[in-house]
Structure 1
Amino acid sequence: MKNKVHKKLNELESTAICGNDISSSVLYVSALAIAYAGQYAWITLLIVSLVLFLFRRIYGEVVGALPLNGGAYNALLNTTSKFMASFAATLTILSYMATAVISANEAIHYLHHLVPAMPIILSTVGLLGVFALLTIGGITESSKVAIGIFLFHLISLLILTGFIAFYLFQNGISIFFENWNFELAGGSIWIAIFLGFSASMLGVSGFESSANFVEEQQKGVFPKTLRNMWGIVSIINPLMALFALALFTIPVLRGDDYQNTLLVEMANLVGGNWVAILISIDAFLVLSGAVLTSFVGVSGLLERMTLDRIMPQFFLKKNKKGSSYRIIIMFFLLTVSVLMITQGEVSLLAGVYTISFLSVMALFGIGNILLKVKRESLPRPEKARWPAVFIAILGVLIALLGNILMNPKEGNPSNVNVFLSYFIPFMIFIIFMLNRTLVLKLLLKFIHYMFDPIRRGVYKMDRNILNFIDKINQQEFVFFTRGDNIAALNKVMLYITKNEHTRKIKIVHVVKPGHQVPENLAVEIDFLDREYPKIKLELIIEEGEFNPELIQELSKRWKIPVNFMFIGSPGDKFSYKVEELGGVRLVI
């Protein structure tokens, strides 16, 4: 039988999957940059493009040398320790989690403008479920959907650009010059550019995604995806910021409506309602594509972590399409739980999204440095220069610092607090998985510490009780039989087993000198011994005459009290009264 060859992704398919994420930033990053940098927003976006250009070589070198899924996790795993790699992986997972929830929720909000009756939360869960099922269906099938969304997005932006250019040709760019002379709130250009750059770095979210599913790509495709993503954000994001500053004044652009749906407002101004509807549909689709990117990226990352035994091996199970469906289902449930906890207030996830994504970028740069130092002989198709690496890392750290220092919206907790509330539980789980044998040993020691005294006490009590039972059962009983009547002997046995605690009974037959022992007595005793295996029967033939003196003599010899000796009911011809026998008991 022929083995089924797993089809790998070409340049367009790979670019579409990660490009939907990074290109969807045009829907919010221009407004975000203007909110902090004002008229200098397009400059901050160009600086972001420069930093991203430097990261192209960094990613190209690391992934070229180590072409395995996992991104920053893979880079640090092969240069440092599992703990540091897991630290990067946790940040990446949080970034994907926040991206999926925010993108899905924002996509439904755009669609809600067209269909007001649509329930937001339920529809968001449905959208997450659709892309979970699509990813379970296989990455190749997912890429076809991604291509459709990606091309529709680029065409929509091209149409919007055409309408904006025509509008500005007719109406001029006087608003842009008015905005250029707008007085900054803080009064400092450098602070405005610093905060604007920090906010604008969110526009490159998704750049790291390609590295997380590099094993699914054809040879030589990965660096092309980096080049294509860089080209998209370098052209579209600064251009849309320039267009926005030429169409609206800065106070208008900083309003809540324009912050959330800037491109729709621009489309409505330059092309009317139908262009606005086109951009709304485009926004819904490309944000949905960002959800797909999250599912594909996290699937590749968690599968690699599972193969490295950081995650439980339960997640390695694949379906016929080659998808790790258990990972995808787990991630889907995680995103839904986050959505329910936040009740649709996904702005609460901004801290998780910001800090985790930028930290992953910084860690990837650090991974590149470690690869140069520790794995210098490892072949790689390209190399990032040392100055470029340090500048790129510095740029990301500046953006990270800026996002930490930014004041959240009124009523919202700080970015760091929100980030830590999600990051700490994830890291606790990862630390447990990395040290699970140690943790289990400590747990075992704790259990022994807590329960060994109890166990020893129970064992001692058990032994004492068993000894006491043995002591009780060691007491012997005596039955004086007159003959070989097995029915009578059996009644004696039944009485003793029901009423007494013993393991041994002496069956005594007193025979007068010159008389014969009943010929079947030994056989019947042997039979009863087998029928009552828990009681040992001993047949004793005693010569003499049965009288009180013999009973007392046997009691002293065997150290068995007289009251533990039994006889059958005596007849009229018996020479002694029962009370003269010293306490012998009647059983039959």
Structure 2
Amino acid sequence: IFITNLVSLALLILVGLKHVIFNGLGTLAANMQTPNENGIVVALFFGFSAAMLGISGFESSANFVEEQSEGVFPKTLRNMWIAVSVINPGIALLALSLIPLGQIPQHQEALLAHMGGVAGGTWLSKIISIDATLVLSGAVLTSFIGVTGLVRRMTLDRCLPQFLLKMNRKGTNHRIIIAFFLLTVSVLLLTRGKLAALAGVYTISFLAVMALFGLGNILLKVKRGSLPRPLRAAWPAVLAGISAVILGLIGNIIMNPAYWVVFLEYFLPAVLIISIMLGRISILKASLYIIQTVSLSIARLTGNVSKSILARIDEISSQQIVFFTRGDNIANLNNVMLYVKNNEHTNRIKVVIAVKDDSEVPPNLEKDLKMLDQAYPEIDIEFLVVKGEFGPKLISDLSKKWSIPTNFMFIGSPGDHFLYGLADLGGVRLII
């Protein structure tokens, strides 16, 4: 492809020179006479900036350093510079000699093919078009190969997520390839397929990479000055190169601010992802600290709330109730316990029997209550024998003595011979 490209461009230049020789330099003279509103200096500055796209490819040459023999890489760069220094200015002058400036914008997407058509006819235009297709196809393949190697290297260095290293059965990192394909398609959609926009974004990216090469060279000089290497670039050359690249970058941004915005839309997320990967330990530690701090605050809050709720539960549950028994059998007493368990918010009950003499206490009552105490461990059963006659006065006295409201006092169903009405007992409740 490289040789085919050189032959095609050489053929274009030769045929173009022949056309200029036979037709004169009238078009070139007219183009050179075209007035420029901003002056020659500004025109040269923007021309220099736009021409930076024509030297793209140097950034990928570094990928082949390790695969070349010693001393080959400098020769590669030298040959590339010679080719660029001859071909690019030559084709630019040839374009000015063949095509009026007013027509160039109409053919900017296929300018070389149009030049071939003007200089040699349809056959040369087709040759240039085929050559451009081959070169761009090779560039696409090279970009996928280069990006796959770059992303794989960055992933191995833990600058990118490790899932990108997944290989398929053929041993290729298909996830990297698919991700790069989707990225390129998104750029195409974002720029709506406009070649000028694509070229502008590519130029800015290329110049940024070249500036980073220069910055990397400076870092090597400062941080690793004693590191052995076959060649050393002089400080003036490095600074001059960085300055020229930055000027070209600024010029492209001034000419097309919208392309700079598109570039940032991809550059900033990429920087963010890499920054997160490089600083993920610090980020995780900070996240852990925040979570622990928030958790402690929530724990304190919930702890206080829990204590308040538990205190309220204890307060409600600790409220004693009183059941006045006449010496009921165990079945009736069991019904009382079931009622308390299912209906009352308490776990403490006093079972009281009022007698005039201790001999009136049923002999099995205390034993039955102990059995129920074991059967209902969640209820604290307290058995009391009170001397006196059961009635409103006794109920009132016990309510004051124990600080238990009469509405927390219960009796069983009274018989026909009960001396008092339920209303006379001051609010005592009935368990049926």
Whether the TM-score (by the shorter chain) exceeds 0.5 is: yes
2:367 is the alignment partner of 1:518: no
Amino acid at match of 2:201: V
**By how many angstroms is 1:419 displaced?**
4.6
Uncovered stretches (5+) of structure 1, i.e. residues with no partner? 1-150
The CA distance in 2 between the partners of 1:348 and 1:243, in whole Å, is 22
The CA distance in 2 between the partners of 1:332 and 1:475, in whole Å, is 74
The CA distance in 1 between the partners of 2:134 and 2:329, in whole Å, is 100
**By how many angstroms is 1:521 displaced?**
0.4
Q: Is the 8 A contact 2:113 2:128 kept in 1?
A: yes
1:86 equivalent in structure 2: none
Q: Is the 8 A contact 1:513 1:543 kept in 2?
A: no
Amino acid at match of 2:412: G
1:540 equivalent in structure 2: 383
Pairs within 5 Å for 1:24-423: 151=1, 154-155=3-4, 157-158=6-7, 161-162=10-11, 165=14, 173-175=21-23, 177-178=25-26, 181=29, 183-185=32-34, 194-211=45-62, 213=63, 219-220=67-68, 224=72, 227-228=75-76, 231-232=79-80, 234-235=82-83, 238-239=86-87, 242=90, 245-246=93-94, 248-251=97-100, 255-269=104-118, 272-273=121-122, 275-321=124-170, 323-405=172-254, 407-408=255-256, 413=257, 416=260, 419-420=263-264, 423=267
1:30 equivalent in structure 2: none
Amino acid at match of 1:542: V
Q: Is the 8 A contact 1:476 1:505 kept in 2?
A: yes
Distance 1:509 1:262, change over 3 A: same
Bigger mean CA offset, 548-557 vs 178-187: 178-187
Residue 358 of structure 2 aligns to a residue whose secondary structure is coil
1:507 to 346, 351, 357: 351
**By how many angstroms is 1:375 displaced?**
0.8
Amino-acid identity (%): 47
Superimposed CA distance per residue, residues 339-391 of structure 1 (whole angstroms, 9 cap, x where no aligned partner): 32332235335553333322321231232122123212212233223443334
Pairs within 5 Å for 1:488-507: 488-507=332-351
Residue 208 of structure 1 aligns to a residue whose secondary structure is helix
**By how many angstroms is 1:441 displaced?**
7.4
The CA distance in 1 between the partners of 2:322 and 2:69, in whole Å, is 98
2:311 to 467, 481, 484: 467
Amino acid at match of 1:526: D
Residue 376 of structure 1 aligns to a residue whose secondary structure is coil
Amino acid at match of 1:196: G
TM-score relative to the length of structure 2: 0.77
Superimposed CA distance per residue, residues 377-422 of structure 1 (whole angstroms, 9 cap, x where no aligned partner): 21223322344333433432343344345x45xxxx4655555565
Distance 1:156 1:353, change over 3 A: closer
Distance 1:269 1:456, change over 3 A: same
**By how many angstroms is 1:186 displaced?**
5.6
1:61 equivalent in structure 2: none
The CA distance in 2 between the partners of 1:540 and 1:581, in whole Å, is 21
Superimposed CA distance per residue, residues 45-64 of structure 1 (whole angstroms, 9 cap, x where no aligned partner): xxxxxxxxxxxxxxxxxxxx
The CA distance in 2 between the partners of 1:361 and 1:402, in whole Å, is 15
Amino acid at match of 2:413: S
Distance 1:370 1:578, change over 3 A: closer
The CA distance in 1 between the partners of 2:91 and 2:396, in whole Å, is 124
The CA distance in 1 between the partners of 2:275 and 2:66, in whole Å, is 34
TM-score relative to the length of structure 1: 0.59
Residue 255 of structure 1 aligns to a residue whose secondary structure is helix
Distance 1:430 1:246, change over 3 A: closer
**By how many angstroms is 1:564 displaced?**
0.9
Superimposed CA distance per residue, residues 294-339 of structure 1 (whole angstroms, 9 cap, x where no aligned partner): 3333344444444454444454444455544444444333333333
Higher relative CO (Cα under 8 Å, sequence separation at least 6) belongs to 1
Superimposed CA distance per residue, residues 514-549 of structure 1 (whole angstroms, 9 cap, x where no aligned partner): 35421750453134314xx3xx23141416455125
Superimposed CA distance per residue, residues 49-108 of structure 1 (whole angstroms, 9 cap, x where no aligned partner): xxxxxxxxxxxxxxxxxxxxxxxxxxxxxxxxxxxxxxxxxxxxxxxxxxxxxxxxxxxx
Q: Is the 8 A contact 2:13 2:94 kept in 1?
A: no
Distance 1:184 1:537, change over 3 A: same
Residue 376 of structure 2 aligns to a residue whose secondary structure is helix
The CA distance in 2 between the partners of 1:394 and 1:334, in whole Å, is 30
Bigger mean CA offset, 564-573 vs 296-305: 296-305
Residue 538 of structure 1 aligns to a residue whose secondary structure is strand
Amino acid at match of 1:572: D
**By how many angstroms is 1:503 displaced?**
2.3
Q: Is the 8 A contact 1:486 1:524 kept in 2?
A: no
Superimposed CA distance per residue, residues 132-168 of structure 1 (whole angstroms, 9 cap, x where no aligned partner): xxxxxxxxxxxxxxxxxxx3x6326525644764685
1:72 equivalent in structure 2: none
Distance 1:350 1:487, change over 3 A: farther
The CA distance in 1 between the partners of 2:69 and 2:320, in whole Å, is 92
RMSD value over aligned CA atoms? 4.2
Amino acid at match of 2:376: D
The CA distance in 2 between the partners of 1:258 and 1:238, in whole Å, is 23
Distance 1:473 1:221, change over 3 A: farther
Q: Is the 8 A contact 1:173 1:246 kept in 2?
A: no
